[in-house]
């Protein structure tokens, strides 16, 4: 493991992004999402994912580095944005800001985005809603890497979903997941480690179960996704498959974005995903203080329920990651894996941006 200053990790990320033409304010947003993932223990969507954004997104020209995100439909409680083929994080940040503003006026709001890019991870955006005292939801469809239940081809994205709600303790409820058995980036990490994955997560291109991540990645993958590989499987079989279809309906069909098997790695310059989010103002139902107290009472009741032998503590969704983040912020440092260190080392070599110091 390596330990680096959070401030230097942020500076490295923003500098690398700006090297590839990303405007400073957009680089700050993308970095916020990447560093949040790193701090909450999801290193597969942290600094390691920055390499995927740069190499697949900017060097291969799949993502517009400087999009002009535009409002194309605007109503009192809804809106639709055009992401201009840029980073999904940039479009989602603007969409959630609009959603929060509208919900404070109307009580509930929903905003969609089309013609966008990979959102990276949706947690940051729903946490923005929770910080404003609101309940937030955010989802995105993405390039198809998952098979439908009973299928073997790349027909759906892993389609991440996140919810967040405020609490009186200051630790919000956060539920953040993909509709697949594992985020595709986790399979990338396993491939780079040269390790196998757990049974039941992936299948090869012929639909055969496998634990070899390279069967998913495809031949000659060079540590990145490639065409002709296998698929990740939907979490819970038909349940994850159904959830992915719901996300695809909201983010793709409803917004006018591309959806399903149209979203392939090979056509990402033209075929673009979408995002969908909604926000509820809890004060339309009760005082915020009462809602937050009830959230805490519910969390306490669950945490104090009977535990199985060997279980020290029952955690609320999101609690582990937020604890890790708070601990890192208190230290001012974040610990990164060998795979992450190697990834940012490669970014240093191609961009010329100095690495953060290993403490």
Domains of the chain and any CATH numbers: 2-63+320-351 (1.10.1530.10), 187-233 (3.30.60.50)
**What is the C-alpha to C-alpha distance for residues 145 and 167, in angstroms, rounded to an integer?**
35
Q: Residue 173's beta-bridge partner residues?
A: 165
The answer to whether 133 and 282 are in contact (CB under 8 A) is yes
Secondary structure of residue 68 in the 3-state scheme: coil
The answer to whether 211 and 196 are in contact (CB under 8 A) is yes
One pLDDT digit (tens) per residue for the chain, 359 residues: 999 999 999 999 999 999 999 999 999 999 999 999 999 999 999 999 999 999 989 999 999 999 999 999 999 999 999 999 999 999 999 999 999 999 999 999 999 999 999 999 999 999 999 999 999 999 999 999 999 999 999 999 999 999 999 999 888 999 999 999 998 888 988 888 889 999 999 999 999 999 999 999 886 656 566 777 899 999 999 999 999 999 999 999 999 999 999 998 888 889 999 999 999 999 999 999 999 999 999 999 999 999 999 999 999 999 999 999 999 999 999 999 999 999 999 999 999 999 999 99
User: Rounded to a whole number, what is the largest CA-CA distance in the chain?
Assistant: 57
The answer to whether 244 and 151 are in contact (CB under 8 A) is no
- pTM of the model as a whole: 0.95
Please list the alpha-helical segments (H only) found in 132-237. 184-193, 213-217
The answer to whether 224 and 230 are in contact (CB under 8 A) is no
**What is the C-alpha to C-alpha distance for residues 306 and 313, in angstroms, rounded to an integer?**
10
**What is the C-alpha to C-alpha distance for residues 89 and 33, in angstroms, rounded to an integer?**
7
Angle between helix axes 24-39 and 88-106 (nearest 10 degrees) is 90
**What is the C-alpha to C-alpha distance for residues 232 and 190, in angstroms, rounded to an integer?**
13
**What is the C-alpha to C-alpha distance for residues 159 and 282, in angstroms, rounded to an integer?**
27
Secondary structure of residue 200 in the 3-state scheme: coil
**What is the C-alpha to C-alpha distance for residues 328 and 316, in angstroms, rounded to an integer?**
20
**Distance of CA 4 to CAs 85, 130, 321, 334, 342, Å?**
32, 29, 18, 6, 14
Q: Residue 276's beta-bridge partner residues?
A: 112, 139
* Structure tokens belonging to residue 182: 């594992």
For residue 59, the 8-state DSSP code is: I
Closest by CA to 89, choosing from 149, 132, 37, 44, is 37
């Amino acid at each position: 493991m390596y330990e680096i200053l959070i401030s230097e990790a942020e500076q490295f990320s923003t500098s690398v992004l700006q090297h590839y033409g990303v405007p400073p304010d957009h680089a700050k947003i993308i970095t916020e999402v990447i560093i949040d993932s790193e701090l909450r223990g999801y290193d597969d969507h942290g600094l390691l994912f920055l390499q995927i954004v740069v190499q697949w997104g900017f060097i291969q020209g799949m993502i517009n580095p400087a999009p002009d995100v535009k409002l194309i439909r605007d109503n009192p409680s809804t809106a639709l944005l055009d992401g201009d083929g840029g980073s999904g994080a940039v479009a989602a940040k603007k969409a959630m800001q609009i959603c929060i503003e509208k919900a404070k006026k109307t009580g509930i709001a929903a905003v969609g985005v089309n013609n966008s890019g990979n959102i990276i991870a949706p947690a940051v955006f729903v946490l923005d809603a929770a910080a404003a005292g609101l309940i937030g939801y955010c989802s995105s469809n993405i390039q198809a890497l998952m098979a439908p239940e009973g299928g073997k081809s790349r027909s759906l994205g892993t389609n991440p979903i996140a919810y967040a709600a405020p609490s009186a303790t200051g630790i919000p409820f956060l539920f953040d997941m993909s509709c697949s058995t594992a985020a595709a980036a986790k399979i990338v990490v396993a491939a780079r480690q040269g390790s196998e994955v757990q049974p039941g997560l992936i299948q090869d291109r012929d639909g055969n179960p496998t634990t070899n991540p390279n069967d998913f990645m495809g031949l000659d993958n060079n540590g990145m996704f490639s065409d002709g590989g296998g698929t990740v499987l939907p979490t819970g079989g038909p349940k994850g498959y159904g959830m992915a279809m719901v996300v695809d309906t909201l983010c793709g069909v409803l917004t006018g974005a591309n959806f399903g098997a149209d979203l392939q790695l090979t056509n990402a310059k033209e075929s673009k995903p979408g995002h969908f989010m909604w926000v509820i103002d809890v004060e339309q139902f009760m005082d915020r203080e009462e809602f937050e107290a009830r959230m805490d009472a519910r969390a306490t009741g669950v945490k104090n329920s009977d535990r199985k032998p060997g279980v020290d503590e029952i955690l609320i969704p999101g609690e582990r990651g937020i604890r890790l983040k708070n601990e890192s912020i208190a230290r001012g440092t974040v610990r990164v894996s060998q795979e992450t260190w190697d990834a940012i080392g490669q970014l240093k070599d191609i961009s010329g941006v100095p690495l953060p110091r290993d403490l």
